[in-house]
Amino acid sequence: MEWVKQRKLPACEAIQYNGQSCHEMDDLWNALHNTYNSASGREVDLSASDPLPTLQERDWPPFSALELTDALASCSSRSSPGPDHVMWVHLKVILESHKAIQILLDLANACIQVGH
């Protein structure tokens, strides 16, 4: 068949470590071990794990119809459906109704408000 022709394999090079090619398993292991464990035994600054100061809690601004329609406009109408068999094109058609947009916005805002 035409589409199963033999293909040329891409050129490959041996892994290099410290200017030497690694052809043996021991050489490959040493290159891997020394690369990823090079910081073993070094002093570590643990201040990065100190607790961060608590910031003042702010209110979440409600979602707007413009945010919803802008986000939906960037979604492909030709994507494959998910487990629920709903595609973006279905949602786009449903949200042509201003009432449907308002219901979806109310639902999203309520989820944020109750912390879901």
Encode pLDDT of 33-84 as tens digits.
Answer: 988 888 878 888 888 889 989 999 888 899 999 999 999 888 888 888 888 8
What's the confidence (pLDDT) of residue 106? 95
In which domain, by residue range, is 101 found?
Answer: 65-114
Question: Any idea which of 3-7, 23-27, 69-73 has the lowest mean pLDDT?
Answer: 3-7
Mean pLDDT (the chain, rounded): 87
Closest CA to 36 of 17, 12, 14, 13: 17
The verdict on residue 35 lying in a domain is: no
The verdict on residue 2 lying in a domain is: no
Is residue 2 very low, low, confident or very high in pLDDT (cuts 50, 70, 90)? Answer: low
* Over residues 15-40, mean pLDDT: 88
Can you tell me the distance from the alpha carbon of 116 to that of 108, in angstroms, rounded to the nearest whole number? 10
What's the confidence (pLDDT) of residue 62? 93
The verdict on residue 107 lying in a domain is: yes
Neighbours of 51 (CB within 10 A): 5
Q: How many structural domains is the chain composed of? A: 1
The verdict on residue 72 lying in a domain is: yes
Is residue 14 very low, low, confident or very high in pLDDT (cuts 50, 70, 90)? Answer: confident
The verdict on residue 27 lying in a domain is: no
pLDDT at 4 over 80: no
Residue type, 98: H
The verdict on residue 71 lying in a domain is: yes
The verdict on residue 28 lying in a domain is: no
The verdict on residue 77 lying in a domain is: yes
- CB burial class (10 A; 0-12, 13-18, 19+) of residue 87? middle
Tokens at 106, concatenated:
């109310």
